[in-house]
Amino acid sequence: MYVWQRDDVEFDDTYPWGSVLATFKRRKDAIARETFRRNAEAIKQKTIQAGTRALAEFREETNRTRLQTRVLCLAEENNNLLMWSHYSSSHTGVVMKLNAVDDLDVSLLRAKKVKYSSEFPILVTEEEFVDHALCVKRIDMGKREAELLLVKGKDWAYENEWRVSINDVGYPLGGPTDFEEPAVVFGAIYLGCRMPEEDKEEIRKLAQESLPDMEIWQAIESHRAYMVEFERLK
């Protein structure tokens, strides 16, 4: 169908199977359609082989992307009770504020907002995969995989999450996993209301050594609403 009925389709002849189909399309007026049909079984086998190769490439690319990707999850709010409970070991941990500095091009500030959905996201549709296999329109699987990382179930919408995909900012497999960002990126530290005193002292000491200008706040239980409040320590 793509060769005989779709004049709008162009095959990518930089791929072997795409080159075969592009040749058929250029010569279709010189090839009797019945002759083409008599050879349909061979064409069918070629198509199956191309689809099998495309599927193998797809799986390989997907697995490679997954292995090379690290995800940093961020939130918009610092006073959400559920977030403190779930992600700071029941208020014994710490929250760090990141400053969104428009003039800086650094990895931690490349976060993208998460979309919440009631349905699983689809990496490729059946039609897209057929076009990919037939070299009509190749898909950037790495890009699609990164887009999937920005979709989450709607039950988690309360998190107001943003994510940084480490693979997107250029860290290769086996590369560094820590960041060397300018101090201005780090705006404040919020200590959990149930954090042990020895942990507070250690964090304050480390902050004084590495980020002496950063604000430090202590989380306290609110007596007015179901939320966390803060008092300035430094």
Give 65-92 pLDDT, tens digit per residue: 677 777 889 999 999 999 999 999 999 9
15-69 per-position pLDDT tens digit: 656 666 666 666 666 666 666 666 656 666 776 777 777 778 777 877 776 777 7
Last residue of a domain, one of 149, 168, 194: 149
Mean pLDDT of 185-191: 93
Q: Are residues 29 and 83 in the same domain?
A: no
The residue among 104, 131, 149 that closes a domain is: 149
- Of 104, 129, 149, at which residue does a domain stop? 149
Element (H, E) at 192: none
> Does residue 145 sit in the same domain as residue 175?
no
Q: For residues 128 and 64, state if they share a domain.
A: yes
pLDDT of residue 24: 65
Q: What is the pTM of this model?
A: 0.65
At CA 63, angle to CA 55 and CA 61, rounded to 5? 50
Quick one: 85 and 172 in the same domain? yes
Backbone angles phi, psi at 112, to 5 degrees: -120, 145
Q: Which has the minimum average pLDDT: 106-110, 116-120, 171-175, 191-195?
A: 171-175
Residues 93 and 180 in one domain: yes
With 70 as the cut, is the pLDDT of residue 8 above it?
Answer: no
DSSP per-residue codes, 139-177? --HHHHHHHHTTEEEGGGGGG-EEEEEGGGGTPPTTS--
Residue 97's domain comprises 71-114+154-234
Does 89 lie in the same domain as 61? Answer: no
Residues 136 and 64 in one domain: yes
Does one domain contain both 48 and 82?
Answer: no
Same domain assignment for residues 132 and 201? no
pLDDT for 92 equals: 95
User: Which has the closest alpha carbon to 22: 32, 10, 30?
Assistant: 10
CA-based angle 57:69:79, to the nearest 5? 145
User: Which of helix, strand or coil describes residue 10?
Assistant: coil
> Do 103 and 167 share a structural domain?
yes
Residue corresponding to tokens 């193998």: 56
Are residues 93 and 64 both part of a single domain? no
Sheet hosting strand 71-75, strand order edge to edge:
71-75, 161-165, 112-113
Residues 91, 40, single domain; the answer is: no
- Give the total number of structural domains in the chain: 2
Mean pLDDT (whole number) for 118-123: 86
